Amino acid sequence: MEQRTILEHRKPLQWGEQDPNRLKNTPVGMWAWLWQRISALAIIFFLALHLTLTYKPIIQFLLLMSVTFHAVLGLRVILLDFNIINVKYQKALIAGLGATGILMIAIIWTGIY
Amino acid sequence: MVREYEHTKTVSVFRYDPSIRDEGHFDTFEIQIADKRLTTILDVLLKIQKEQDPTLSFRFACRVSMCGSCALVINGKERLACKTVVGDLKEKEITIRPLNHFPIIKDLVVDMDPFFEKYKEAMPYFDPKEDTEEPAVIKPDSKERRDIGLSTECIACGCCVSSCSMVNYHDAYCGPAAINRAFTLLADSRDGLNEQRMSKVLDSCYNCRTELNCTDVCPKEISPTRAIKYIQKQACIEAFRKKEKTPTQEDIRSDAKIPADVEDNSRRRFLKQMTYGLGAATAAVVGGVLASAAVGPTLRKTPKQWIHAGEMEGFPLNRVSTANIQYTNLDGFYKSKKTTPIMIYRKPDINQSVVYSSRCTHLGCTVRWDEGKQIFLCACHGGAFNSDGSVKDGPPPRPLDRYAFKIQDGALFVEVV
Amino acid sequence: MEKLSTDILIIGMGGAAQLAALNAYDANPDLNILIVTKALRGKGGCSRMVQGGFNVVLNQNDSHQKHFADTLKGGQFINNQELARIMVEQATPTIKEMETKYGCFFDRNPDGTIHQKPFAGQSFDRTVHKGDLTGIEIISRTTEQIMKRNIPVLEEHRALELLTDNTGKQVTGALILDMKCGEFKVVESAATLVATGGGPTHYRFFAPGPEKSLDGLGMLYRAGVRMVDMEMLQFHPTGLIVPGSVVAGSLLEEGLRGAGAHLLNSEGERYMKRYDPEKKERATRDVVSRSSFLEMAAGRGYDHGGVHIIASHLGPEFVEKNFPGMCLRCRIFGYDLARKPVPVSPTAHYLMGGAVFDANCQTSLERLFVAGEDSGGVHGANRLGGNGIADSCVFGRLAGKAMAEYLKKNGDKKAETSIGLAEELKARYTEPFNRKDGISPYPLRDQLRELNWNKVGVARNETDLNDGIREIDAISDETKSVGIDGIKAYNLPWNNFIDLLNMIEVSRMVASSALLRKETRGAHFREDYPDQDDQNGLINFFQERGKDGVPVFEQKPVDLKYLKPVDVKKQ
């Protein structure tokens, strides 16, 4: 019998596992996706707060912000899904929609409030 | 010496020894680099291998970014070692790690079998539509060739799969590279497996979260995301094609290896019906809401009712006092018991007395009477009303609303709607 | 040792190997076919690295006769004319099958027909291509077809030796090393195809991928296969110079010169005007390489030891549009191909010589087939750009059909492997692990590369060649003291050691054959015999391993079956 060393594959590394440089190299598209999910959670949270502690300006502002960002990031996916905007402009799209979001927040907050 | 410092690089390399079977760790090497612009990461690895640690393993073949063997995670991003020069990396140190989502054989070498298994799921092979010996005449500026572009130049390096954060959460997801290949075949008018391929990859496409990581890392500058979106769009277009072609005898391929997908038609019909259904439902909901908002108030049938608010003795003269009224409100289909505060400013002349609604005319917060300042204050946005109800300060657009009232048997009744 | 058994064993997974597998399968789907490749599926081999294209007659104004004459003229008439004819004639159906059966899509003319571009040494523009990355299109598509047919592939398994029966006349399979875990396997087969490709990486500058190491030729020679014209080793004139990097020597393809790029020496002179006033840079590869080498030798090279290629006068947009792959590769290293000169040097590229084979791809041993760069004789003294992938694909395709046909007749009687052969070979390959403080194989490999470059390179002479052979033998002796550390799984130094053994084998063949040819012909340039001798030079040099390991040489005049040099001169 010849001697055999038992060899085993290591289980796959997961995304970002043992990867000190991953965070700063995460592409902007991934952030867009992640922030849409985070803003969804934020909406639920602030909506609950809004219903219990009615008419606190700070909560109203945060709610407005979450809703707006959730909306513009959702719009991004729709625009990309239906190929209304070519995928290659996705970074510009995120920047543009982000700016639109901020503008909308500013208008609503100063104009209506 | 500054010069020498510039040319020394610290390189951390992931190590895994299959005979020890541990979790893996990073080894750090110091290497001398003559020219940052002319030294690729592959050179760095070869140098370490040759001069410092001969047991280091990594994979490479063509060294000119044509084979896709040397894909690694270099400084947090998937790149080809042969295509990345040290000068490209902004970071001071170099960290080299194997690709994500693939089992590690040794050090930087991963097992690519899962990649090819998934790749195969998308039927990534050409199957001629017609038996011909002559190459098809297709203009290079035709729509299909412009759509396909250089997407056929994928070298199956696995960068996209490694960068995707969805592939390992969805077993059915065949991954960006496979979908990209499926797309180039779906767009190719010469291919005869469109139907089956579409039904195989369409499900996979919906696992994409539009993160575009794959597009970002592709060393061949192909966009798998574009491919995914193309397939989704194509599926919608096909679902809406007016006449669904019933497959003719020639269309049914007798290739025993690739069984015709029976689900295909029902899937398409389902998709179509769902799209119609959801479209109709959305239209109904949106239309309903808009319509009721537009015509709703004129149709309101709620009768006016007089509600008892308290005995007149309870309201001192020349003062503002608060009372709660309770009544049943019918708003649309929704019947509710409501308790609303009202404010009564009683004057000696009963006809000059006023009953105010406590609802701020700005956004409906409840206002309260400030006895000291002799004004109504709204806590929400700082609106203030004078004692006659007119706006004194802040955002409210109009004076406080008033209720009609009457006095019957020494008791105050207000009219609510 | 694990034992596998199959009908057809295919070693390698480049163009030749894949087309052989596909055609053998299509001829008889019941055959058990096994592909063994040193790299991952479809990723090894030089076919994938083909930039230029595939020479084929498709146009009505072109003819097989013209392509044949060009090939012979390029090869200086020592080609095997029968094989050259087959290549030229079969190239047309091969490329059509690639389009219609395998789904390749080559670049089109504006009217939708296949575009063909000019290449050096051709009387008609007949090179079919896909941008400047033709190999990726061909290999990716054929790899998919292998996947479609479920033909099993052993990835990262390198073949070490061919196994033979007791007589040594029949090949019974191969000894395989699983690189992933370092274990040996024996594959027994009824027919074996060696299609590993050559890949002369035993030079300072080389164009093939560094994982190539002439495994096939080493294996074939040790098994006793007859070799032809091993001195004919092509240098490509424009290998990129990247000092200190492994990328050095990678190609800037011929299309660039075909499109009109110029070569300049350090004095800024367009020196090709002097060497070939008529064709200038569009002369065949042997001529241009030799000219560049002589310029460099005369001290008219740049500091980095090369010359410059300049394409900016063609217009930056034109260059970027037509040669995107090359522009990109130059850009990585800070060179701007479209606007500025780029340093280049001749680089070892292709072995015209190789195993002798016939129209059925059979070699001098029974049950052994060969196709692609491992085979010799098709290209004579110099290969035309674009004929390389044509050779691989055409003969791969024929080999597949021929093997299926062969097994129909001889499939049932399998030969017995000589007993103990596999164990003996295995012991030889694991020997370095027993030497704990042996030397590293890397310095030896580098030494061999320098030696070949200087003594058996572009320009050769008797003294250097004799020196070269002596030094190769010295290196060969030193390999006996190489020691390897670590586990066998994915052990790169060990694989380099095995590479080195094959390189030494081929270096020796090239040098000794070069010594025999006392004239200058094609890629073979002898400083001491600078003229082509058509009276005595139209011969082929054969060699094979003799019984005691000493090579046996033989020479035979070329069979000028279809075309004689005088016929061409008359035209």
Mean pLDDT of B128-149: 92
What is the model's pLDDT at position B386?
86
What is the model's pLDDT at position C412?
67
What is the model's pLDDT at position B277?
80
Mean pLDDT of B253-275: 55
- Answer for the pair C161, C174: CB distance below 8 angstroms, yes or no: yes
- Report the residue from C43, C141, C181 with minimal CB separation from B68: C43
Cβ neighbors of C334 (< 8 A, separation 6 or more) are B37, B38
Q: State the chains in contact with B (3 or more Cβ–Cβ pairs under 8 Å).
A: A, C
How far is C449 from C447, CA to CA, in rounded Å? 5
How far is C254 from B4, CA to CA, in rounded Å? 40
Q: Lowest mean pLDDT: which of A84-88, C84-88, C314-318, C411-415?
A: C411-415
Structural domains for chain C = 2-232+352-410 (3.50.50.60), 236-348 (3.90.700.10), 429-531 (1.20.58.100)
What is the model's pLDDT at position B252?
43
What is the model's pLDDT at position B2?
39
CB-based burial of residue C68 (10 Å sphere; 0-12 exposed, 13-18 middle, 19+ buried)? buried
pLDDT exceeds cutoff 60 at B362: yes
Say whether C270 is catalytic.
no
* Chain A contact set for C488 (CB, 8 A): 5
End-to-end CA distance of chain B: 88
Distance of CA C484 to the CA centre of its chain: 29
* Chain A contact set for C487 (CB, 8 A): 5, 7
Higher pLDDT, B327 or C327: C327
How far is B412 from B315, CA to CA, in rounded Å? 10
End-to-end CA distance of chain C: 61
pLDDT exceeds cutoff 70 at C225: yes
pLDDT by residue (tens digit) across C369-384? 999 999 999 999 999 9
* Chain C contact set for B83 (CB, 8 A): 332
Higher pLDDT, B22 or C19: C19
pLDDT by residue (tens digit) across C331-374? 999 899 999 999 999 999 999 999 999 999 999 999 999 999 99
One of 3.40.1440.10, 1.10.10.10, 2.60.120.10, 2.102.10.10 is the CATH number of B305-416, namely 2.102.10.10
ipTM: 0.94
| pTM, 2 dp | 0.84
Say whether C257 is catalytic.
yes
pLDDT exceeds cutoff 80 at C549: yes
The structure tokens listed for C80 are 């095997």
Confidence of residue B300 (pLDDT cuts 50, 70, 90): low
Q: What is the mean pLDDT of chain B?
A: 83
Q: Give the SS3 label for residue B73.
A: strand
Distance of CA C374 to the CA centre of its chain: 7
Mean pLDDT of B7-19: 92
- Report the residue from C133, C242, C490 with minimal CB separation from B38: C242
Closest to C368 measured CA to CA, from C221, C227, C184, C220: C220
pLDDT exceeds cutoff 50 at B256: no
Is B16 in contact with A10 (Cβ distance < 8 A)?
A: yes
How far is B108 from A49, CA to CA, in rounded Å? 49
Mean pLDDT of C491-513: 95
Cα–Cα distances (Å) from A85 to A91, B141, B167, B212, in that order, read 11, 21, 25, 14
Cβ neighbors of B369 (< 8 A, separation 6 or more) are B320, B322, B343, B375, B376, B377
Confidence of residue B49 (pLDDT cuts 50, 70, 90): very high
pLDDT by residue (tens digit) across B307-330? 888 888 778 878 888 888 888 766
Q: Give the SS3 label for residue C310.
A: strand
- Alpha-carbon torsion angle A96, A101, A103, A109, nearest 10: 180
What is the model's pLDDT at position C119?
87
Phi/psi of residue C109, nearest 5 degrees: -75, 165
Is A13 in contact with B100 (Cβ distance < 8 A)?
A: yes
What is the model's pLDDT at position B253?
43
Cβ neighbors of B143 (< 8 A, separation 6 or more) are none
Strands C2-11 and B375-378: unpaired
The structure tokens listed for C444 are 């030896």
- Report the residue from A11, A19, A33 with minimal CB separation from B211: A33
Q: Which H helix or E strand runs over B405? A: strand B405-408
CATH superfamily of B113-261: Alpha-helical ferredoxin (1.10.1060.10)
How far is B88 from B68, CA to CA, in rounded Å? 19
Q: Which H helix or E strand runs over B393? A: strand B391-393
Q: Where are the alpha helices (DSSP H) in C345-386?
A: none
What is the model's pLDDT at position C304?
80
How far is A88 from B212, CA to CA, in rounded Å? 10
Mean pLDDT of B55-82: 94
Structurally, at CATH architecture level, domain B2-110 sits in Roll (3.10)
What is the model's pLDDT at position B41?
95
Beta-carbon count within 10 A of A48 CB: 11
Q: Give the SS3 label for residue B4.
A: helix
Cα–Cα distances (Å) from B11 to B14, B48, B97, in that order, read 10, 9, 11
Q: What is the DSSP string of B181-206?
A: HHHHHHT-TTBS-HHHHHHHHHHHHT
CB-based burial of residue C377 (10 Å sphere; 0-12 exposed, 13-18 middle, 19+ buried)? buried
Mean pLDDT of C206-217: 93
- Give the gap in angstroms from C-alpha A83 to the nearest C-alpha of chain C: 26
Strands C459-460 and C368-370: unpaired
Q: Lowest mean pLDDT: which of A30-34, A83-87, C29-33?
A: A83-87
Cα–Cα distances (Å) from B61 to B351, C48, C139, C347, in that order, read 98, 11, 15, 18
Confidence of residue B360 (pLDDT cuts 50, 70, 90): confident
What is the model's pLDDT at position C351?
95
| Residues forming a β-bridge with B370 | B375
Q: Is A95 on the interface with B (CB under 8 A)?
A: no
Q: Give the SS3 label for residue C100.
A: helix
* Chain B contact set for C133 (CB, 8 A): 66, 153
- Give the gap in angstroms from C-alpha A21 to the nearest C-alpha of chain C: 22
Q: Which H helix or E strand runs over C345? A: strand C342-351
Q: Lowest mean pLDDT: which of A43-52, B29-38, B356-365, C55-64?
A: B356-365
Cβ neighbors of C1 (< 8 A, separation 6 or more) are C183, C184, C185, C186, C422, C423, C426
The structure tokens listed for C27 are 């001829």
How far is C159 from C178, CA to CA, in rounded Å? 9
pLDDT exceeds cutoff 70 at C520: yes
Q: Is A6 on the interface with C (CB under 8 A)?
A: no
Out of C129, C141, C202, C236, the active site residue is C236
What is the model's pLDDT at position B261?
45
* Chain A contact set for B73 (CB, 8 A): 19, 22
Beta-carbon count within 10 A of A10 CB: 21
Q: What is the DSSP string of C203-253?
A: SSSB-S-TT---HHHHHHHHHT--EE-TT-EEEEEEEEP-TTSTTTT-B--
Return left, alpha or beta for B364; rule: phi > 0 is left, psi -120 to 50 is alpha, else beta. Answer: left
The structure tokens listed for C426 are 């295995």
Q: What whole-number percentage of chain B has pLDDT above 70?
A: 86
Closest to B163 measured CA to CA, from C65, C260, A13, C562: A13
Is B64 in contact with C246 (Cβ distance < 8 A)?
A: no
Q: Is A1 on the interface with B (CB under 8 A)?
A: no
Q: Can you give the residue ranges of every domain in chain B? A: 2-110, 113-261, 305-416
The structure tokens listed for C302 are 């740049």
- Answer for the pair C373, C198: CB distance below 8 angstroms, yes or no: yes
Q: One-letter amino acid identity for B333?
A: F
- Answer for the pair C225, C353: CB distance below 8 angstroms, yes or no: no
Chain A interface test: which of C181, C433, C434, C488 (most A C-beta within 10 Å): C181
End-to-end CA distance of chain A: 84
pLDDT exceeds cutoff 60 at B249: no
